[in-house]
Structure 1
Amino acid sequence: MTGTASLMTRASDLRLYLWGQTASAFGSTLTATATSVVAVTVLDAGPREVSLIVAGATLPALLFGPVLGTLADRVTRPRRTLVLVDLICAGTMLLCGALALGGLLSVAILAGTAFLLGLSQVVLNALYFSHLRSLDVGDLSRARGKLQTSELLSRSVAATVAGPLVAAVGATLLFVMDSLTYLFSALSLRSLRSQDRRREPAHPRTGLLRELRAGGAAIRANRLLVAFVVYAVLSNVALSGTIAQRAVFMLDTLQLPVALYGLPSVAATLLAAVGTMAASRLLSRRLTHRELLVICLPAAGLSGLALPAAYGPLWLAMTAVVIGTALPVFFSAGANLAIVGVLSDDVGDEFFGRVSSLMLSVATLAGTVGALAGGLAGERFGVRGGLWLCQALAVLAALIFLVSVRRGRLDRPAPAPGASPSVPEPGREAR
């Protein structure tokens, strides 16, 4: 009976966590999708102003990612930290709603809000797997798949309704709804019955700087991760540059209706869910994580070329935008599943927070440059020309990754020689 009760508790906790994360993803996507629309249609923002909002969301990972990731590896009660983050985000969105209601909203405020939400995402991402493990869900991969699929579907619904809601009622309601979803997420976390404790680390804690260096050593010792970081730098420049110009391209250049603005995001999130399931099936059929990366990364770069090629009547232009936005996300979802598998296999959960945050910070530096450069490119060469430059860079990033594969640099890494307790040997997972 005790075992059955424990199993029921784990299942109930996983459902509660799933509901909370799904609600939070819904509200966050609703606001994120609406922010660019509000900036362009209400505040008359151009490519440069929109790029500042995009940059605001990416700066936290750049400025604080490595330190927060290292600190996250030290957190012994991850759930309590996640609840605190949800409450801070809820208060921020309520403040934005009040400012929107009073007509005081500005591009600077939207950029500041994006910065704070980006900071919360760094913490959430670093603690995600440690908290999921604390729920004792059994099959971690299957639980992660359920959560990711639910969040993706929730994001697709949010992206569908964001445009029409902005056109109908404005930004105030959206910010308030986002605040309520964060509160629901916090309540769901507080209702979990499993113990909020993290497993003890296999290696003794040292100074913050030494632990941070250990994360860097784990990346440098893995040739595949080094190659992927190079790809991530170039592709994130291209991606952020594209995002910075996409709203202006769709609403001003193509003159698409505001009500259709969220359609590409809907298709992208739905295809991301499909891509995750397809990647899981491929991996279950003994396709390796490395082989999946070789398939997905070039496909993501090539499929993005459809976006700047969008032209013609409404149906044709919209089709091209959907393809150029959604297909790269489909393949990127598979690549994300693959690289997380590489991190889990070759680095280990004990260092997941700092290693993933270090990689995120490097990619974010490129993304910040890309967001600003995308805005400048859109003004210098026109939005369509700027998008062509971004997509060409994405293809180049994939080609460089393939050249690394061809040169045989992506074999499974050997253990790092001379590893010391302050620089743990990559591949040794905490037991």
Structure 2
Amino acid sequence: MLQPVPLRRQRDYRLLLSARAVSETGTEISRLAVPLTAATLLGASPAQMGVLAAAASLPYLLIGLQAGAVADRRRHHRPVMVACEAISAAAMASIPLAWIAGLLTVPWLIAVTFAVGSCAAVFRAFTFPHLTSVVHESQRPQALAGFQSAYSLAIVGGPSLAGTLVQLVTAPFAMLVNAVSFLASAFLIQSIKAPETHTPAERRGMWTEIREGLAAVAGHPVLRALCGTGIVINFFGSAYMALFVIYAITVLALPSGLIGALTAVFGVGGLLGAAVTARLVKRVGEDRMLIYAVLIFPLDFVTAALASGPTWAKFALMSASTLITGMAVVAFSVCLGAIVLREAPAPLLGRVNATMVFTTQGVLALGGLAGGLLGELLGLRPVLWICAAGVVLAIPLIWSSPLGPASGERADPAGGGRLPLRRREARRCDREAHLCGGGSAWYDRGPARRGRQSAWADDELVRYGGRRPSTTLLDCPQNPDRFIAHAWPISSLRM
């Protein structure tokens, strides 16, 4: 098999990566400029500031699942992505224009934020299946790492650039830079020439298709574990972030400049993580890299809860933990995206991604509210310990799933010792069997061992389905030396 061209030499990937880098940088500018405009120029109340903050993530709850269903229905994703960026540019450009005309109000800012958030929800739903047309399967972890690098660079440089622009041209006009970044992103995406190969899903009604996406995640042991882990991490991470700034100021007595520096350190950690993740994935695989990353997540929570002593010592300790956590977060995100791309059935890819985003993004608001309430009742430091203990729950969720170390090998039921389980090959056969015959399948890695394969397939199907199937042997379309055990439809499996 011919090796694909390195990503750095692929024009279409460079265009897509540049589009994300430009757009993310502009978004980081508006992340500071919008609340500054509301608070300092328009006199927004705390309640209005809360609504303004929620307006950006609310669209993921309202239209995220529908966007995933629509993405699966369409053969061409690029035109919708370009339209989303163009609409976002127009919405952001309306803010300085309204300020000049004397029409700018807090509800206007809320409406613009909601519109841009809606475009972001649709854009994200369409980007995931679009990536499969631009990047070869073997290069997707590296491509996702590149996107994480762009995001980390935006975190490092965006806030300082935003502060400079606000000082030079005032907050409303700083958002013109974000409008330009959206336009630049639209132009770069429009310039991609890779043919879109997505096969549209059959239309069976919006809610039926949404339920299929939800069932695909809930019924798939790997996707279910990833979704549950993301919910746990985001819930307790959001609770932690809701209190971190006030905790750092009032309990740790850190200057505001050092708190901002910790954010930059997190971005640097993200850059380092993006740089090493793709290489490490080639050595250990996405599954193992992901389960190792989960082990690191409690570190930042525990470090913050334990921090004490002189300012320089607290900052040094938290900088080290923040750097390591930034690397782990990017490694986890890259591997999670690669595994979802690998595991999700192609006709359901948009809906699976939308379901993951819907659940993991929607829980952010709940985590923030819970953190604030618990902080009022229990105090700041105890809540940090609660968050640390909560994030630890992500470890058994992943390690007990088919991604965990225990699933790395299985006993050969025919008495041949322990055989490494090549999950990636097995799941490809699964998907091919589903497409060809509508059934679920497992495989025997030994060449042409038909008699032993049947026992192996029965054992694995009983383990995952909870009942013994009547198997029919089929040729594996991925490898002529292997066979597929065809059983009942995947949707009936109790996983």
- Fold match by TM threshold 0.5: yes
* Candidates 223, 226, 231, aligned match of 1:225: 223
Q: Which amino acid aligns with 1:266?
A: A
Distance 2:93 2:139 in 1: 35
Residues 1:238 and 1:36: Cα distance change in structure 2 (over 3 Å): farther
Mapping for residues 37-56 of structure 1, pairs under 5 Å:
52-56=51-55
Corresponding residue for residue 187 of structure 2: 187
After TM superposition, give the deviation of residue 236 of structure 1 in Å.
1.4
After TM superposition, give the deviation of residue 279 of structure 1 in Å.
2.3
Q: Flag the structure with more relative contact order, 1 or 2, with Cα contacts below 8 A and sequence separation at least 6.
A: 1
Q: Which amino acid aligns with 2:243?
A: Q
Corresponding residue for residue 86 of structure 1: 85
* Candidates 204, 207, 226, aligned match of 1:206: 204
Distance 2:35 2:272 in 1: 26
* TM-score, length of structure 2 as denominator length: 0.70
Residues 1:253 and 1:143: Cα distance change in structure 2 (over 3 Å): same
Distance 1:191 1:272 in 2: 28
Q: Which amino acid aligns with 1:59?
A: L
After TM superposition, give the deviation of residue 310 of structure 1 in Å.
4.7
Distance 2:344 2:441 in 1: 5
Bigger CA drift: 271-280 or 76-85? 271-280
Q: Which amino acid aligns with 1:232?
A: G
After TM superposition, give the deviation of residue 354 of structure 1 in Å.
0.5
Please give the per-residue CA displacement for 1:79-130, whole angstroms capped at 9, x wherever unaligned.
Answer: 2111111122112222334566769564x66655444333222222222243
* Candidates 296, 299, 303, aligned match of 2:293: 296
Please give the per-residue CA displacement for 1:332-388, whole angstroms capped at 9, x wherever unaligned.
Answer: 211122222222222244322110111221223322211222233344444555444
CA contact (8 A) 2:37 2:171 kept: yes
Corresponding residue for residue 370 of structure 1: 367
Q: Which amino acid aligns with 1:181?
A: S
Q: Which amino acid aligns with 1:270?
A: V
Distance 2:39 2:254 in 1: 13
Q: Which amino acid aligns with 1:332?
A: V
Residues 1:348 and 1:371: Cα distance change in structure 2 (over 3 Å): same
SS at match of 1:293: helix
CA contact (8 A) 2:221 2:401 kept: no
CA contact (8 A) 2:36 2:171 kept: no
Does residue 357 (structure 1) correspond to residue 354 (structure 2)? The answer is: yes
After TM superposition, give the deviation of residue 280 of structure 1 in Å.
1.7
State, as a whole percentage, how many aligned pairs show the same letter: 25
CA contact (8 A) 1:224 1:410 kept: no
After TM superposition, give the deviation of residue 331 of structure 1 in Å.
0.8
Mapping for residues 265-304 of structure 1, pairs under 5 Å:
265-285=263-283, 287-304=284-301
Residues 1:79 and 1:407: Cα distance change in structure 2 (over 3 Å): closer
Corresponding residue for residue 462 of structure 2: none
Distance 1:185 1:57 in 2: 19
Corresponding residue for residue 123 of structure 1: 122
Corresponding residue for residue 76 of structure 2: 77
Mapping for residues 266-345 of structure 1, pairs under 5 Å:
266-285=264-283, 287-311=284-308, 313-323=310-320, 325-345=322-342
After TM superposition, give the deviation of residue 26 of structure 1 in Å.
0.6
Bigger CA drift: 331-340 or 319-328? 319-328
Distance 1:148 1:90 in 2: 23
Corresponding residue for residue 58 of structure 1: 57
Residues 1:78 and 1:246: Cα distance change in structure 2 (over 3 Å): same
Does residue 157 (structure 1) correspond to residue 154 (structure 2)? The answer is: no
Q: Which amino acid aligns with 1:87?
A: A
Distance 2:135 2:112 in 1: 34
Distance 1:48 1:309 in 2: 33
Distance 2:321 2:44 in 1: 23
Corresponding residue for residue 3 of structure 1: none
SS at match of 2:75: coil
Corresponding residue for residue 172 of structure 1: 172
Distance 2:104 2:324 in 1: 38
Larger CA Rg, structure 1 vs 2: 2
Distance 2:440 2:28 in 1: 38
Does residue 396 (structure 1) correspond to residue 393 (structure 2)? The answer is: yes
CA contact (8 A) 2:72 2:350 kept: yes
After TM superposition, give the deviation of residue 182 of structure 1 in Å.
0.8
SS at match of 2:73: coil
SS at match of 1:288: helix
SS at match of 1:73: helix
SS at match of 1:67: helix
Distance 2:441 2:175 in 1: 43
Corresponding residue for residue 449 of structure 2: none
SS at match of 1:307: helix
CA contact (8 A) 1:304 1:327 kept: no
CA contact (8 A) 1:19 1:185 kept: yes
Q: Which amino acid aligns with 1:357?
A: A
Residues 1:240 and 1:109: Cα distance change in structure 2 (over 3 Å): farther
Residues 1:166 and 1:317: Cα distance change in structure 2 (over 3 Å): farther
SS at match of 1:76: coil
Residues 1:378 and 1:120: Cα distance change in structure 2 (over 3 Å): farther
In structure 1, runs of 5+ residues without a counterpart are: 1-5
SS at match of 2:393: helix
Distance 2:187 2:93 in 1: 17
Bigger CA drift: 170-179 or 51-60? 51-60
